[in-house]
Chain A
Amino acid sequence: MNTVIDAHNISKVYNPETIPVYAVNNVHLHLERGEFTALVGPSGSGKTTLLNMIGGLDKPDGGNIFINGNDITKLSANELIDFRLKNIGFVFQSFNLIPVLTAKENVEFIMQLQKIKQSERDERIKQLFQQIGLEDKLNERPSKLSGGQQQRVAVARALASKPQFVLADEPTANLDTKSASNLLDIMAKLNKEENITFLFSTHDQRVIDRARRVITLVDGRIVKDTAVVSTEHKEAATIR
C-alpha cells in the first residue's frame, strides 16, 4: 500500500458566528498512489473547499490531513507554500498561465523556483511537451494557444516539479467537448504510464465516465464512493 492523501474528519465552516455553512462536514478521504479519481457533486457541495484544503491552500476548521505521512494542517502559511511547490501539482479551471511568458517558460519557471539545473529543466520540458503533444508550441504565448492547449500546458506545469499528486478543480469547465476529451486522454495516459495520481473535480458526465473512482459530495459530506472496475471498457465507449 502507498497512501498519498489521508484526510481525517476534516471540516470547514463558513460564518460560524452568524449562519454557519458547513462547506465540508466531517470528511474522510483516502487516496493511494496512482489513483485517477473524480470528485463530483452539485454546485455548492464543497468540492472546491475540499480540494483547497487537501492542496494546503486553505486550513480546515477541524481534522487532519496527511500528505505522504506529513500532517499539513500543522504547517505555517509559509511552510505550506514550499510544501505545495515540492509536493502538489495544481491545475485550475482557467487562467493558469502567466500571459507574458511562453508555454515553455510557464513550465520552466516552476522548476527555476526549485533551483533545478538548466540541463535537467531542458530535458524535463522536452519530455513534458511531448507528453502533452505540444512540442511545436513551446515558444508561443498563452494568448496564441486554444483553451484546451492552455490547460495541457497547465498539466505540464503541474507535473514539472514531480509532485506527489495533481489536484485539478474543474479543469475542463471552460473547454469544448473535444478539448475536454483530449485533456482527459492526456491525463489518463500520464496516470497509466507514469503512475501519476490525479484528483479532479468535475460536473461533466463524460469526464466522470473516465474516472476510475468517483467520490460524490452533497452538502459537504461524502455520500457515495465508487470504484470503477474496467476503465478500458469506458475508454472504448467514449472513443466510439
Chain B
Amino acid sequence: MWLAKMAWKNIWRNRNRTIITMAAIFFAVILSVIASSLQAGIFDNLVKNVVSFYTGYMQVHKQGYWDEQILDNSFESSAETEKKILQNKNVTSVTERLESFALASSEDITKGCLVVGINPEKENEVTLLRNKLTQGSYLQDNDNAVLLSQGLAKRLQLKVNDTIVLMGQGYHGATAAGKYRIKGLVKFGSPDLNDKALFMPLATAQDFYSAYGMVTSYVLSLSNTKDLQPTESSVRLAIGAGYEVMTWEQMIPDIKQHIETDSNNMKYVQGILYMLICFGIFGTLLMMMVERKFEMGMLVAIGMKKSTLVILMLFESLLTVIAGCLSGIIISIPLVHYLNKHPIKIGGETAKAYERFGFEAIFPTSTEASNFIHQGLIVLVIGLVLSLYPMYKIIRINPVTAMKR
C-alpha cells in the first residue's frame, strides 16, 4: 500500500511530464474512439441503407435461383417452410416475393421493368417500402393495382391513377398480360431500382404470371444483424438442401468489398495514431529513467529489492496510463453521442460513391460501448507494454554505475 502511495507521489514529481503523458494518452483515446466509432457508424449505416432498400439481410431461394433468376426457378410458398425459418431465434420476420421481368407500357411508350409481388404489410416491416412512397397510397393485399418507381413512371410518362399495361412470359411458358391502376409512386436512391421497379400484391403477381402459390424468394429480417454466419447455417440446416440461403454479403458483394477496403484504410490511420502514442509515452519514459537513474541506483544500494522497484514502476505506469485512458473515454462518450445526433456530412467523390448506392452521405457515429472499451484497452496495453522498458532497465541496474556522477 505504501508502495502505491509512493508511486502516486512519484507521478507528480514532474507535473508537466506527467500531464504531457496523460494528455497524449487522453487525446489518443479520444481520437481513436471517435475514428473507430465513426467507421463502425458509417458501415452500419451503409449496410442498413443498402440492405433496407431491397435485399434485406438474408434471403432464401430455390437452389440455383440466384444464378438464373427466372420464374421457373421459383418454389411453392408454404407455411411450414416459413415456420422452419422462423424457428431460428435471430429471424424476426419472413416475407415472400415473386419477382420477374415484364414489359410495361403506357399509351405509346414501352419499357422493361422488374415486377415484384409482395406481401404489403410484411414487406414494409423488412424494407420500409411505405416510407419510400412519394405520391398516392400504399398497397393493400387484394389490390389490383401497382406501386411504380419514380424513374419508371417518368419514363413512361405516367402518374398516379393512370393505368399501366404489363406483358410478359408467365410460369412454364404461359403468356402474362394485365392492366393495372397506379396506386402510388415510390422513390429509391439506387438508380437501378428507381428506373425499373414495380410492386404489386403477391396474389396479383401470381395471377399475372400464372404462378399460383409460387414465390421466388423469402426475405428475412434479423434481430442481430451482425450474427450473419451462424444464422445462415442454422436456417440452411432447418429447411434442407432444396433451398439456397444467402446473406447480403453474398448478394451485394461490392458493398462488402467496399467496407473491407475502407476499414483497411482506417487501420492504417489508427496504426499511425497508435505509433504516435508510442513515441509520446516512450519519450517521457526515457526522460524519466534518465532523471531517476541515480535515485534508483541509490534505492537498490540501500536495500530495495529490484522486484519492489519494478512494482513501483508498474504502479506509476498503470496510474498514468489508466488516468489518461479513463479521462479520454469519459470525454469521448459525450463527443461520440453528439456526433451520433449531429452526424458528419461527407462531400466530394466519396459522397457520390455513396449516392450511387442510393443514399445520402451522412454518417452518425456508432455509440456501441464495445468501441470505447476496445480502444481504451488498446491504449492501455500499449502503455503497459512500453513500461516494460523501464522495468528491464531496473532489472539490469547496477547501483555503483547508476550512482556515478
A81 touches B304 (CB 8 A): yes
- The verdict on B2 contacting chain A, using a C-beta distance below 8 Å, is yes
A78 touches B13 (CB 8 A): no
**Do A78 and B306 form a contact, CB below 8 Å, given A95-B295, A98-B295?**
yes
> Chain B: interface residue count, which band?
20 to 34
B301 touches A57 (CB 8 A): yes
Question: Which residue on chain A has the smallest CB distance to residue B309?
Answer: A81
**Do A52 and B400 form a contact, CB below 8 Å, given A85-B302, A95-B294, A109-B2?**
yes
- The verdict on B298 contacting chain A, using a C-beta distance below 8 Å, is yes
- Interfacial chain B residues near A100, Cβ < 8 Å: 6, 9-10, 12-13
- Interfacial chain B residues near A75, Cβ < 8 Å: none
- The verdict on B240 contacting chain A, using a C-beta distance below 8 Å, is no
- The verdict on B300 contacting chain A, using a C-beta distance below 8 Å, is yes
- Interfacial chain B residues near A92, Cβ < 8 Å: 298, 301, 403
The A-contacting residues of B in range 1-21, CB under 8 angstroms, are: 2, 6, 9-10, 12-13
A96 touches B303 (CB 8 A): no
A81 touches B305 (CB 8 A): yes
| 0/1 string, B74-107, CB within 8 A of A gives 1 | 0000000000000000000000000000000000
| Complex Cα gap A223–B403 (Å) | 28
Q: Which of A95, A98, A112, A161: most chain B Cβ within 10 A?
A: A98
Question: Which residue on chain A has the smallest CB distance to residue B11?
Answer: A100
| Complex Cα gap A55–B403 (Å) | 14
Q: How far is the CB of B1 from chain A (nearest CB, A)?
A: 9
Query: Which residue of B9, B301, B306, B403 is within 8 Å of A84 (Cβ)?
Result: B301
**Do A90 and B301 form a contact, CB below 8 Å, given A57-B399, A100-B9, A100-B10?**
yes
Question: Which residue on chain B has the smallest CB distance to residue A53?
Answer: B400
- The verdict on B308 contacting chain A, using a C-beta distance below 8 Å, is yes
Q: How far is the CB of B61 from chain A (nearest CB, A)?
A: 72
A95 touches B302 (CB 8 A): no
- The verdict on A157 contacting chain B, using a C-beta distance below 8 Å, is yes
- Interfacial chain A residues near B2, Cβ < 8 Å: 109, 112
Q: How far is the CB of A114 from chain B (nearest CB, A)?
A: 8
| Complex Cα gap A110–B302 (Å) | 8
A82 touches B303 (CB 8 A): yes
Q: How far is the CB of B368 from chain A (nearest CB, A)?
A: 41
B301 touches A99 (CB 8 A): no
A113 touches B400 (CB 8 A): no
- The verdict on A86 contacting chain B, using a C-beta distance below 8 Å, is yes
Question: Which residue on chain A has the smallest CB distance to residue B403?
Answer: A92
- Interfacial chain B residues near A199, Cβ < 8 Å: none
B6 touches A57 (CB 8 A): no
Q: How far is the CB of A73 from chain B (nearest CB, A)?
A: 15
B294 touches A58 (CB 8 A): no
| Complex Cα gap A157–B295 (Å) | 15
- Interfacial chain B residues near A84, Cβ < 8 Å: 301-303
Query: Which residue of A82, A90, A98, A157 is within 8 Å of B305 (Cβ)?
Result: A82
The B-contacting residues of A in range 93-142, CB under 8 angstroms, are: 95-96, 98-101, 109-110, 112-113
Q: How far is the CB of A68 from chain B (nearest CB, A)?
A: 16
A78 touches B305 (CB 8 A): yes
| Complex Cα gap A98–B384 (Å) | 25
A90 touches B302 (CB 8 A): yes
| Complex Cα gap A99–B13 (Å) | 8
- Interfacial chain B residues near A86, Cβ < 8 Å: 303
| 0/1 string, B374-387, CB within 8 A of A gives 1 | 00000000000000
| Complex Cα gap A86–B304 (Å) | 11
* A residues apposed to B, CB below 8 Å: 52, 55, 57-58, 78, 81-82, 84-86, 88, 90, 92, 95-96, 98-101, 109-110, 112-113, 157-158, 161
**A-B CB proximity, top 6 nearest:** A85-B303, A100-B9, A84-B303, A100-B13, A58-B400, A90-B302
Some 21 contacts from A to B, beta carbons below 8 A apart, are A55-B301, A57-B301, A58-B400, A81-B300, A81-B306, A82-B303, A84-B303, A85-B302, A85-B303, A85-B304, A88-B303, A92-B298, A92-B403, A95-B294, A95-B298, A100-B9, A100-B12, A109-B6, A110-B302, A112-B2, A157-B302
- Please name 11 further chain A to chain B contacts, defined as beta carbons within 8 Å, in addition to the given A85-B302, A92-B403, sorted by A numbering: A55-B301, A78-B305, A78-B306, A81-B303, A82-B303, A95-B295, A95-B298, A96-B298, A98-B299, A101-B9, A161-B303
